């Protein structure tokens, strides 16, 4: 049985990005550009994928993982050369070949499926008024089918040149086009379906005789036509087909992805007050009836439960929230919070923080590598690092753990139901037992047993009548004739 495979071109440097990072690894809505192409290919049901890598090959491979086959193109001699490198990697049974660029991330699986079916002779191909190939009537398989798009501003793209019959005759690159050809608004999206054998033979005839001195994959189209082969085309909406070549185009794609992600969540029952200023990464999950206020960033592997209130002004990175959680104006990184927690405003949860359910973390509280038990409260102005806090604990305002002695970090533990007085310094390693109490302002350096009270501070001195006595003394010093107190 013959099979379908996809070749994804990702070896180019992306000169126009002016970046040390390979272009296909630049991110949109949190995911590398090429990841979207791979996703569309997978969603179109194609599981044999060869990725052509070259610039930053090791990094691209490391980012995408070993679930794909890779072909190395050591020198970037052009898109035609890149495809030629991939062919030996394909299974012998592969007849149907999809070729895509790693820098067209907006393409959908639907367009890829239409492209494949059009090449096989399905009804979608539009290749001239009659919708026929080279004069034949009825559906006939083509040797190549190009995914094209109609752009208001086609500059930079290869143009689709059609003959007197309206059939695709060739693709001409922007830099090589005549002024007349530059007027053509039908562009090559860089996505094609090929008959593998026809492609192989055309590739062997490519010559780098163009302005860039490269082996253009696009020249295959003219070669196939000269050879009397059939070439078809299908059109996809411009919203899907933009190639990302510069930072400006990256930002434009980012806007599209952001809108798509917000729409995906809204369709699933999430309220987003203003999608234009809400930044949700690809793959973030949010439960029903959660409300996301403006200026929120939900990034990486973030999951938010149902009925939460997030924002305004909140950033969640690789963080999970249960249901009914409120987070306002806060930054949470690699942390988790159980159901009904209240976080912020202005809380900072650093990696390794885990809140059980009903925990309150209030304003100006920073937690790092800290686990907090159910119903505990850290309402204001605290720093807790490397700490295990039990259930029902109250941590008074201004409490901090002194977890670092300049060399090592140490742990603090606070048992269930303990009450930590305001402005306590917990000098780690130290533990406060269940139900124990620390006096406000204490610097606790030794363990506090269960149920005990620990107070560590100077006893208060009270000098009676101090104010009146002091002002009388000051008056005497101010009398004229006294040295040192002239006005």
Q: Could you list the residues that contact ligand UD1 (CB under 6 A)?
A: 9-12, 24, 52, 54, 73, 76-79, 81-82, 101-104, 157-158, 171, 173, 187-190, 216-218, 243, 245
**Separation between Cα atoms, residue 476 and residue 487, nearest integer Å:** 14
Q: Which is nearer to Ca ion, 35 or 284 (CB)?
A: 35
Tokens of 401: 């753990």
Give the integer Cα–Cα distance in Å for 159 and 473. 96
**Alpha-carbon dihedral of residues 465, 466, 470, 472, nearest 10 degrees?**
0
Cβ 256 to ligand UD1, closest distance in Å?
A: 15
CB of 157 to Ca ion, least distance (A): 8
Q: Which is nearer to ligand UD1, 82 or 426 (CB)?
A: 82
The residue (of 86 and 355) whose beta carbon lies closer to ligand UD1 is 86
Kindly indicate which of the ranges 126-134, 237-245, 280-288, 337-345 contains the residues binding Ca ion, using the contact rule CB under 5 A. Answer: 237-245
The least distance separating ligand UD1 from the CB of residue 178, rounded to whole angstroms, comes to 16
- The verdict on whether 205 is a catalytic residue reads no
Residue whose token pair is 């009397």: 228
Least gap, CB of 154 to ligand UD1 (angstroms): 9
Binding mask 79-118 for Ca ion (x = CB under 5 A): ------------------------x---------------
3 state DSSP class of 112: helix
Task: Name the residue among 133, 104, 142 with its Cα closest to residue 6.
Answer: 104
Position among 32, 243, 322, 324 found at the interface with Ca ion (CB under 5 A): 243
In angstroms, the CA 400 to CA 423 distance is: 7
Question: Which of the choices Ca ion, ligand UD1, none does residue 193 contact, using the CB cut-off of 5 to 8 A by kind?
Answer: none
Structure tokens at 159: 């143009």
Residue nearest to ligand UD1 (CB): 158
Contact partner, 189, from ligand UD1, Ca ion, none, Cβ < 5-8 Å per class: ligand UD1
Q: What distance in Å separates the CA atoms of residue 112 and residue 145, rounded to the nearest whole number?
A: 11
Q: Taking CB within 5 to 8 Å according to partner kind, which of Ca ion, ligand UD1, none is near residue 173?
A: ligand UD1
Classify residue 103 as exposed, middle or buried by CB count within 10 Å of its CB (0-12, 13-18, 19+).
Answer: buried
Of 226, 224, 209, nearest in space to 173 by CA: 209
∠ Cα 203 208 214 (to 5°): 95
Structure tokens at 99: 């070729």
Tell me whether residue 243 or residue 287 sits nearer to ligand UD1 (CB atom): 243
Q: How far apart are CA 103 and CA 51, in angstroms?
A: 12
* β-pairing verdict for 27-28 and 309-310: unpaired
Beta carbon nearer to ligand UD1, 19 or 434: 19
Q: Which is nearer to ligand UD1, 79 or 127 (CB)?
A: 79
78 binds, among ligand UD1, Ca ion, none (CB under 5 to 8 A by kind): ligand UD1
Q: Which residues bind Ca ion (CB under 5 A)?
A: 103, 243, 245
Would you name the residues annotated as active-site residues? Answer: 380
């Amino acid at each position: 049985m013959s099979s379908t495979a996809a070749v994804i071109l990702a070896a180019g440097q992306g000169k126009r990005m002016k970046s040390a990072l390979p272009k296909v690894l630049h991110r949109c809505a949190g995911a590398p550009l090429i990841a979207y192409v791979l996703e569309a290919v997978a969603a179109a049901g194609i599981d044999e994928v060869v990725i052509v890598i070259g610039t930053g090959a090791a990094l691209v491979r490391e980012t995408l993982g070993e679930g794909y086959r890779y072909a190395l193109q050591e020198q970037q001699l052009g898109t035609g050369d890149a495809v030629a490198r991939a062919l030996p990697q394909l299974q012998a049974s592969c007849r149907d070949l999809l070729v895509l660029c790693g820098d067209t991330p907006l393409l959908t699986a639907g367009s890829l499926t239409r492209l494949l079916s059009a090449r096989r002779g399905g009804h979608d191909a539009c290749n001239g008024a009659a919708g026929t190939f080279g004069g034949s009537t009825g559906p006939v398989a083509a040797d190549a089918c190009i995914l094209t798009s109609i752009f208001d501003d086609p500059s930079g793209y290869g143009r689709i040149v059609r003959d007197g019959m309206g059939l695709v005759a060739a693709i001409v690159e922007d830099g090589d086009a005549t002024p007349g050809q530059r007027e053509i608004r039908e562009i090559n999206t860089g996505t094609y379906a090929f008959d593998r054998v026809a492609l192989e033979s055309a590739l062997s005839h490519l010559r780098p005789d163009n302005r860039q001195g490269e082996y253009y994959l696009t020249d295959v189209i003219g070669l196939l036509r000269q050879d009397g082969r059939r070439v078809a085309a299908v059109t996809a909406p411009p919203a899907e087909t933009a190639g990302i070549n510069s930072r400006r185009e990256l930002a434009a794609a980012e806007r599209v992805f952001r809108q798509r992600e917000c729409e995906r969540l809204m369709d699933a029952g999430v309220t987003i007050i203003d999608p234009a200023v809400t930044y949700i990464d690809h793959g973030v999950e949010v439960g029903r009836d959660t409300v996301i206020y403006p200026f929120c960033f939900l990034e990486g592997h973030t999951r938010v439960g149902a009925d939460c209130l997030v924002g305004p002004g909140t950033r969640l990175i690789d963080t999970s929230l249960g249901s009914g959680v409120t987070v306002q104006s806060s930054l949470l990184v690699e942390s988790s919070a159980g159901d009904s927690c209240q976080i912020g405003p202005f809380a900072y949860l650093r990696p390794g923080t885990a809140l059980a359910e009903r925990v309150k973390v209030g304003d100006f509280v920073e937690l790092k590598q800290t686990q907090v038990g159910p119903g505990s409260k850290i309402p204001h102005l605290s720093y807790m690092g490397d700490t295990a806090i039990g259930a029902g604990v109250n941590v008074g305002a201004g409490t901090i753990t002194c977890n670092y002695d300049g060399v090592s970090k140490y742990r603090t533990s606070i048992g269930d139901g303990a009450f930590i007085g305001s402005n306590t310094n917990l000098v780690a390693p130290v533990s406060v037992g269940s139900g124990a109490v620390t006096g406000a302002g204490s610097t606790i350096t030794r363990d506090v047993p269960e149920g005990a009270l620990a107070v560590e501070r100077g006893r208060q001195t009270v000098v009676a009548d101090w104010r009146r006595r002091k002002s009388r003394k000051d008056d005497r010093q101010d009398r004229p004739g006294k040295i040192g107190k002239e006005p």
